Structure 1
């Protein structure tokens, strides 16, 4: 016999986005349950670097979401601080040549109009910020608002703070609907959770959960690798990457793309990410991808050529074709909400996503216009 319990909302997904949805729904006074097929941060979140970036986003809805999240992460960092390894260390985007510097300058000017804080750094000033950077770079921009968290810790702490009822290792088998077609809860192999609202925060499996609810959401996995070095003194002070990373983030190419993002961590290892390619859920270790990442990182920081890489890990970013997440109520199914498809920005965008979901669940005026993130904006191939 199925165990049965009632809540105001069930969140599917115990990654950092699901945790943020649970946290802000709880702050709004709702009774929350969270269910996940695996452990806390067992999917994309656990394979992330913890990037909280505004520097890589052009003006538009995603940047607006990132700026809101920057403020919320700062508030969460004040409360949770060392518990989530929150570091407001800033980012440094460097140009390898004059053409790249000209493009960076134009990009930063557009961002400034949207509220992004950045400072141009001349070539001879780069090594003041990062003493181990390669020589011969054309310059760069310092972004004060970029930061970092330890993503698995952040998810765990947000879930704990939410007080949500947590069910791990239980895959959702059905999103139940009542006679009117509205959401009535979810069912797992051993449990029935009743609720008038369900939030799809299933990350890369967001499309699968949407299908359980009877709607189309074209979430696809985009594989990425990260290298982890041996513990080191803090030789990389900021989050550092070359300007071509911005183009890779915005690209929809299915092929392998890589542009090194290099950063130190409180524990000592340097993280080097990341690659992007659409290969389904293929978990095969790609040696060429790892070699390319290592070479790009060493080009930025020659000191890394003598450093041992201790391990590499992989994950799958939840990719949507227009590079915007699906956030908010789904008009096709009353009571169904989505919070997925953030690709590689989910950790950074999690608090703003959770806040918007909490506001919609309780009928409050949204802090940010949710229209660009409508889950029903994609054509259903079954209707073509």
Structure 2
């Protein structure tokens, strides 16, 4: 069997790539060794954010994706009809709060840079912050309100993108593990070998999230994606108590850190069901999925410092997942520099849900010449960008990366 494009990974980024490629007219086969939307996409909060990104290419991509999500939610609802669950797109806005004068000055400067890059960022004092979120701690001095921030239900959104891709002719095969690459006589990747047989293809897109490094190795390539673990707490329902995505000023620094040690910050938001999702933690421990009580406790303490009422709200469950971490904090979107026919759409860390629509459109544009959204320049995300070239050369000598 053959197809124009094989997409490896049925998470939200793979689903967005599959839909964009299928809508543009390509025949697409999505392969995943597990169930669709069952790994990283099932263990996040569904964030669609601009507030946590400084000026640069990732923010540019996020601004495009925020607009695309608003349109995409309506497109998917029209395509799939009322019987398909809503992707729960909520343009609730974000609120970043701080309790120290030094932190407030730093946040003001950060927001000013973001505004210059096209972000809606409104500074608020303590009283204004509490008008937006009445239950904030008295110690909160102020913050910045980001009206563009939004949220979707990540599992439903992934399944909706895959359903739409199927409607445009794509085939989704789960329980199929990619084991290697098919190669032409010129060395070009012409498909994949799998546990269910060979699949010939004109191109292969690796969108396997934190497992992309291993998939790339099996295909004879290299990409420095590593897992970065995060834990989320889920409370019993408290409808109406948290109106925005609210987080403390330490969150941005945690997302940009390169350390492997545990880092936590307060991130609190509601769901349509009234439960609260509480994060955020980051640590590099490989694929160790053993829960840690100290991570839960530290995350809870950070959240209570922002919303004291949470001290009386039960946590009914926790879950953890793995984000696809890149050392330079930018995703890889585009062709492999040394293996024709192989492409990447991975390394988004905690921004995969938010950046998925623009990523899919970018892949379809580069692979097929489909129209691209203004502002989506692929060059900063290239697999051969300077930061990755240096890492590749180092990996060749220390890790035996493909030559």
Supply the distance in 1 between the matched residues of 2:332 and 2:251 (Cα, whole angstroms): 23
Give the unaligned 5+ runs of structure 1.
Answer: none
SS in 2 for 1:48: coil
Contact in 1 for aligned 2:76/2:164 (Cα 8 Å): no
Question: Aligned-pair distance for 1:293?
Answer: 0.7
Asked whether 1:100 is paired with 2:100, we answer no
Residue from 56, 64, 67 that aligns with 1:68: 64
Contact in 1 for aligned 2:46/2:354 (Cα 8 Å): yes
Query: Match of 1:161?
Result: 164
Query: Match of 1:43?
Result: 39
Contact in 1 for aligned 2:96/2:247 (Cα 8 Å): yes
Query: Match of 1:84?
Result: 87
Supply the distance in 2 between the matched residues of 1:80 and 1:235 (Cα, whole angstroms): 30
Change (3 A) 1:131 1:80: farther
Asked whether 1:254 is paired with 2:260, we answer yes
Question: Deviation digits for residues 236-269 of structure 1, max 9, x if unmatched?
Answer: 0000001111111111110000001100100111
Question: Aligned-pair distance for 1:383?
Answer: 4.8
**Residues 73-152 of structure 1 mapped to structure 2, 5 A cutoff:** 73-80=69-76, 83-152=86-155
Residue from 314, 317, 328 that aligns with 1:322: 328
Runs of 4+ in 1 over 3 A off after TM superposition: 364-367
Question: Aligned-pair distance for 1:365?
Answer: 6.5
Question: Deviation digits for residues 152-202 of structure 1, max 9, x if unmatched?
Answer: 100000000011201101111112111111111112112321111000000
Question: Deviation digits for residues 124-178 of structure 1, max 9, x if unmatched?
Answer: 1111101111112110111011000010100000000011201101111112111
Contact in 2 for aligned 1:217/1:376 (Cα 8 Å): no
SS in 1 for 2:86: helix
SS in 1 for 2:295: helix
SS in 2 for 1:8: strand
Question: Aligned-pair distance for 1:360?
Answer: 0.8
The CA RMSD measured in Å over matched residues stands at 1.2
Query: Match of 2:292?
Result: 286
Query: Match of 1:306?
Result: 312
Number of aligned residues: 380
Question: Deviation digits for residues 272-313 of structure 1, max 9, x if unmatched?
Answer: 011000011111111111001111111111111111100000
Supply the distance in 2 between the matched residues of 1:152 and 1:233 (Cα, whole angstroms): 22
Contact in 2 for aligned 1:222/1:318 (Cα 8 Å): yes
SS in 2 for 1:132: coil
Contact in 1 for aligned 2:24/2:370 (Cα 8 Å): no
Asked whether 1:370 is paired with 2:378, we answer yes
Question: Deviation digits for residues 5-51 of structure 1, max 9, x if unmatched?
Answer: 21110100000000000010011111111000101111111101101
Query: Match of 1:297?
Result: 303
Query: Match of 1:175?
Result: 181
Change (3 A) 1:366 1:213: farther
